[in-house]
Structure 1
């Protein structure tokens, strides 16, 4: 049982490392604002079109930035949940269902 817990911890660390290498993005205003993040929800880059600074006001740019950030973070959540679900399925399968308890998660 202890070996299984160690494997689960190692698997979680592997997933976290993999999520650090997966890029997600969120855009607003047809791509005029773009946010790039990791699947671990770390913002890596923000791109804002020069046009928005010349034609838009500060509040508009801030609102669009929030939209792009939230889209990127939602995409990161989705990728992370998919990875964790796959890992959970692997772990439950590896534990032999824990005497039937695995059926509770199906």
Structure 2
């Protein structure tokens, strides 16, 4: 019975840590870039875009598709970095727990 109580206590602690991490992910900002820094996106780790900066030198009407592609690439770069932050943080929280490989908690 003691093992069950200990497990329940550990689960409650994990639940609180995960709730704290969720709130933290709203405040952590990551930066995605493309085109050697010509396009920069700042977003939260959860993917909410905060800002977009485009170097004026690439704003040529003839290069519209290139600029659009760079914006998409910068957004994807920011998303990937945000996902990496979340994965790293969750790995820290669940370290030492018997969680099956591949099980997603988030």
Q: What secondary structure is seen at the aligned counterpart in 2 of 1:40?
A: coil
Q: Taking structure 1 as reference, are residues 75 and 104 closer, same or farther at Cα in structure 2, changes over 3 Å only?
A: closer
2:91 pairs, out of 73, 85, 101, with 85
Does residue 29 of structure 2 align to residue 20 of structure 1? no
Q: What secondary structure is seen at the aligned counterpart in 1 of 2:66?
A: helix
Distance between the aligned counterparts of 1:67 and 1:26, measured in 2?
Answer: 8
Distance between the aligned counterparts of 1:89 and 1:28, measured in 2?
Answer: 34
TM-score, normalised to structure 1, is: 0.77
Q: Deviations over 1:23-76 (max 9, x none)?
A: 111111111100011112211111111112137521111101111111111111
Q: Deviations over 1:66-90 (max 9, x none)?
A: 1111111111111110000010116
Distance between the aligned counterparts of 2:92 and 2:80, measured in 1?
Answer: 19
Aligned residues: CA RMSD: 2.1
Structure 1: 5+ residue runs without aligned partners? 93-101
Equivalent pairs counted in the alignment come to: 95
Flag the structure with higher helix content. Answer: 1
Distance between the aligned counterparts of 1:47 and 1:63, measured in 2?
Answer: 14
Structure 2: 5+ residue runs without aligned partners? 1-6, 102-106
